[in-house]
Structure 1
Amino acid sequence: MKLPIYLSLLDEAERTLAESFRQVADEHGDEPDVHFLCQTLAGQCDEHRDRLRPVIERYGEGSADDEPERLHGDGLERARTGPLGLLRDLQDLYLLASMTDITWTMIKQVAQALPDHELLDIVAACEQQTSVQLMWLQTRMSQAAPQALIASR
């Protein structure tokens, strides 16, 4: 069974996304909505990892030897500054959140096939929050784009 590989991937994706949300919150503190919401979203990612922990313990952790190359998404190396930097950071967060979202979808399919009702309950809650994260990122990028691409120098 290869499910442990994807459970580990999901745990790592949530960890990376949380760290990246925190980086963006710290760098863009002059944008209060970004700062506070990114901190909140990072906390959601931490909660997702906490909820996954019992399932990972039950199925086991995936080994790095079992993983295909480049299975994990890279987080932000560093946050950027200014309006254009904010837009690019939000895009990077969107990519990470998208990877996390599709991984939740794959885990849900496996949970339905097993069937694993505990895992299905976890997926239902966490997948919904990840979808909201994506919607907020998309909305915030749409809001930031005109200023970053037209008005800024």
Structure 2
Amino acid sequence: MKLPVYLGLLHASEAALAESYRQVAGGHGDEPDVHFLCLTLARQCDAHQEALRPVIDRYGETTEDDEPERLRHEGLSETRSGPVGLLRDLQDLYLIANLVDITWTMVKQAAQGLRDAELLDVVARCDGETATQLGWLRTRMKQAAPQALIAAS
């Protein structure tokens, strides 16, 4: 069974996303909505990792398979400045959140195959929140794009 590989990928990706949200919050404190919402979303990712604990205890988590490792994203190491920097940082968050989202989808497929009601409950809660995160990121990028790409000099 390779589910532990994807549980490990999901756990690490949620951690990278949480840390990246914190990085963006700290780097863009001049944008209060970004700062405070990124901190909230980081805590949400922390809660997702915690929700995975019983599942990981049951199935394990591994990184033995090389293929999913190519997908791993370490997160943001630093933030950029200015309007274009904010837009690019949000875009990076969006990419990591999409990795998390599709990994939740793969884990859901496995949970359905296993008929694991507990895992399905975790997926339903966490994947839905990740979808909401993606929606906010998309909306915030749309809001930031005109100023960053047209008005900023």
Pairwise TM-score range, normalised by the shorter structure: over 0.9
Q: CA deviation at 1:71?
A: 3.1
Find the counterpart in structure 1 of residue 108 from structure 2. 108
- 1:16 is aligned to 2:40: no
Q: CA deviation at 1:76?
A: 1.1
Structure 2 residue runs without a partner (length 5+): none
Query: Are the equivalent residues in 2 in contact too, given 1:5–1:67 (CA < 8 A)?
Result: no
Alpha-carbon displacement from aligned partner over 1:39-96 (angstroms, at most 9, x marks no partner): 000000000000001100100111x332324131231121111100000000000000
Q: Distance in 2 between matches of 1:71 and 1:143?
A: 29
Alpha-carbon displacement from aligned partner over 1:84-120 (angstroms, at most 9, x marks no partner): 0000000000000001000001100110010100000
Find the counterpart in structure 1 of residue 36 from structure 2. 36
Q: Distance in 1 between matches of 2:77 and 2:24?
A: 11
Q: Distance in 1 between matches of 2:55 and 2:64?
A: 21
Query: Are the equivalent residues in 1 in contact too, given 2:97–2:130 (CA < 8 A)?
Result: yes
Find the counterpart in structure 2 of residue 82 from structure 1. 82
Structure 1 residue runs without a partner (length 5+): none
Q: Distance in 2 between matches of 1:65 and 1:104?
A: 19
Please tell me the root mean square deviation across aligned C-alpha atoms, in Å: 0.9
Query: Are the equivalent residues in 1 in contact too, given 2:23–2:77 (CA < 8 A)?
Result: no
Find the counterpart in structure 1 of residue 65 from structure 2. 66
Look up the SS of the partner of 2:53 in the other structure: helix
TM-score (structure 2 length as normaliser)? 0.97
Find the counterpart in structure 2 of residue 5 from structure 1. 5
Look up the SS of the partner of 2:64 in the other structure: helix
Q: What count of residue pairs does the alignment treat as equivalent?
A: 152
4+ runs deviating over 4 angstroms: none
Alpha-carbon displacement from aligned partner over 1:119-149 (angstroms, at most 9, x marks no partner): 0000000000000000000000000000000
